[in-house]
């Protein structure tokens, strides 16, 4: 009924990896395309009432989504590329599938680092201050916002890297295909940012 253990684990891990990835990147897009414009129109005196319960909830799914995506991603990398040997092609060179996933995984790992070591520690200070704790340092908000914007831009090319090796068949990794991945990935995110500032909020 099931193939060998490794293929079964790959199927299950891939499914968890993608569910966790959707949870993570979905919240990232919520923060950047919905919440940032919303906060711009929210009166300052309402922020302590609105933001801790909303943003702490969203940050919970955001950061744990990032952690599980990363851990299942590493497990998949081990099963498919190291144990399964997909890291090398028939001639023993680094395979194109591996090049794409290394590109995607590198961007994903930078994003995971930003979530856990840049965004979350700063958000804890910002929201902690709203809940009556010590004032957040003035650089906390711009640093968290910059890391979040970098992650949003990286998500486009990162996802291309996740799927190109195993689905966009015959896409060798070379300068041309890399440029296409970057232009499409970064261009789409740029368009979503532009659109997010113009979404009508009255009917």
Provide the minimum distance between the beta carbon of 155 and ligand HEM in the complex, in angstroms, as a whole number.
7
Site track for ligand HEM across 138-177, x = CB under 6 A: ---------------------x--xx-xxx----------
Rounded CA gap, 19 and 16, in Å?
A: 5
Tell the smallest beta-carbon distance from residue 184 to ligand HEM (Å).
16
Region from 46-54, 71-79, 142-150, 175-183 binding ligand HEM, contact rule CB under 6 A: 71-79
Q: Which is nearer to ligand HEM, 27 or 97 (CB)?
A: 97
- Selected range binding ligand HEM among 22-30, 34-42, 118-126, 181-189, rule: CB under 6 A: 22-30
The yes or no reply on residue 115 touching ligand HEM (CB under 6 A) is no
φ, ψ dihedrals at 94, nearest 5° = -60, 125
Distance CA 95, CA 165 (A): 9
DSSP 4: -
What the block records as the tokens of 99 is 């090049």
Question: By C-beta, is 16 or 193 nearer to ligand HEM?
Answer: 16
Q: Do residues 69 and 24 touch, judged by C-beta distance below 8 A?
A: yes
Q: What is the DSSP string of 71-98?
A: HHHHHHIIIIIIIS-TTB-TTSSBPHHH
Binder among 29, 38, 67, 109 for ligand HEM (CB under 6 A): 109
Binding mask of the shown chain, residues 181 to 200, with x at each position contacting ligand HEM by CB under 6 A: --------------------
Residue showing tokens 């190291």: 82
User: Is the distance from CB of 47 to CB of 55 less than 8 angstroms?
Assistant: no
CA–CA dist 58, 27 (Å, integer): 7
Which residue ranges make up the site for ligand HEM (CB under 6 A)?
14, 17-18, 21-22, 24-25, 69-70, 73-74, 76-77, 80, 97, 101, 105, 108-109, 112, 159, 162-163, 165-167
């Amino acid at each position: 009924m099931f193939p060998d253990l490794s293929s079964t684990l790959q199927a299950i891990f891939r499914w968890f990896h993608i569910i966790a990835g959707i949870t993570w990147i979905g919240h990232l897009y919520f923060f950047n395309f919905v919440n940032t414009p919303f906060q711009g129109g929210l009166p300052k005196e309402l922020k302590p009432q609105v933001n801790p319960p909303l943003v702490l909830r969203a940050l919970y799914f955001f950061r744990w989504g990032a952690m599980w995506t990363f851990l299942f991603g590493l497990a998949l990398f081990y099963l498919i590329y190291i144990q399964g040997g997909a890291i090398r092609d028939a001639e023993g060179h680094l395979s194109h599938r591996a090049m794409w996933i290394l590109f995607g995984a590198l961007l994903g790992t930078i994003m995971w680092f930003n979530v856990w070591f840049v965004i979350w520690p700063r958000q804890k200070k910002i929201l902690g201050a709203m809940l009556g704790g010590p004032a957040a340092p003035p650089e906390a908000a711009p640093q968290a916002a910059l890391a979040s914007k970098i992650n949003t831009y990286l998500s486009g090319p990162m996802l291309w890297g996740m799927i190109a090796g195993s689905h966009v068949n015959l896409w060798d990794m070379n300068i041309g295909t890399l440029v296409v991945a970057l232009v499409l990935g970064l261009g789409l995110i740029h368009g979503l940012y532009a659109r997010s500032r113009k979404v009508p909020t009255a009917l």
